[in-house]
C-alpha cells in the first residue's frame, strides 16, 4: 500500500505527521505541493478522498486567501479546487492519502485510521 503525504516542511503539523507515520513504520511518498503544485483535478480528487465538507481543505487564515476576498462558506468543490490549484499555499496541510482514503493531519493522529 502506497501512502503519500502532501507536505510542507515549514509547517509543524506537517512535520509532526511525517514523524508519526515514520514512527509507525510507514515511509510515505512525499509530495511537496508548494514545489509541485496540484492541478485542479488533483485537488478535486483529494476533496473526494477526504470526504466531508470541501471547505476543510482550504486555509482561510493565509494572507493570500484574504487578498482573494473569498468566502469559504460559499465556495463549492470546483471553486475550492480552482483556488488551491492557482494558490497552493491555500491547501490545508498535511493531507495523507492511502488507497482510496485520505485524512487531514490536524491533529497528526487523525491520519492513523488510514494505516489500519
Q: In the CATH scheme, what architecture does the domain 1-33+93-116 have?
A: 3-Layer(aba) Sandwich (3.40)
- C-alpha span between 73 and 98 (Å, rounded): 28
Catalytic residue among 11, 30, 110, 115: 11
- Rounded (10°) angle between helices 77-86 and 40-50: 130
Q: For residues 88-100, b (16+ Cβ closer than 10 Å) or e, as one string?
A: bebbbbbbbbbee
- C-alpha span between 14 and 29 (Å, rounded): 13
Query: pLDDT by residue (tens digit) across 7-55?
Result: 999 999 999 999 999 999 999 999 999 999 999 999 999 999 999 999 9
- Let me know if 11 is a catalytic residue: yes
* Least confident stretch, 5-9, 39-43, 60-64, 91-95: 60-64
pTM across the whole model: 0.94
Q: Sheet holding 29-32: strands in order across?
A: 29-32, 3-7, 95-98, 101-104
Locate the domains of the chain by residue range: 1-33+93-116, 38-90
Beta bridge partners of 96: 5, 103
Residue 25, by phi and psi: left (phi above 0), alpha (psi -120 to 50) or beta? left
The pLDDT value recorded for residue 116 is: 82
- C-alpha span between 100 and 23 (Å, rounded): 23
How far, in Å, are 28, 56, 103, 107 from residue 73 at the CA level?
A: 32, 10, 20, 22
Amino acid at each position: 500500500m502506497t501512502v503519500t503525504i502532501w507536505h510542507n516542511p515549514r509547517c509543524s503539523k506537517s512535520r509532526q505527521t511525517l514523524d508519526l507515520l515514520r514512527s509507525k513504520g510507514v515511509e510515505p511518498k512525499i509530495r511537496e505541493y508548494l514545489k509541485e503544485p496540484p492541478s485542479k483535478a488533483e485537488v478535486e480528487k483529494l476533496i473526494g478522498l477526504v470526504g466531508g465538507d470541501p471547505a476543510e481543505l482550504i486555509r482561510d487564515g493565509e494572507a493570500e486567501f484574504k487578498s482573494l476576498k473569498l468566502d469559504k462558506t460559499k465556495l463549492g468543490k470546483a471553486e475550492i479546487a480552482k483556488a488551491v490549484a492557482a494558490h497552493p499555499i491555500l491547501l490545508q496541510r498535511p493531507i495523507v492519502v492511502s488507497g482510496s482514503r485520505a485524512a487531514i493531519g490536524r491533529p497528526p493522529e487523525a491520519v492513523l485510521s488510514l494505516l489500519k
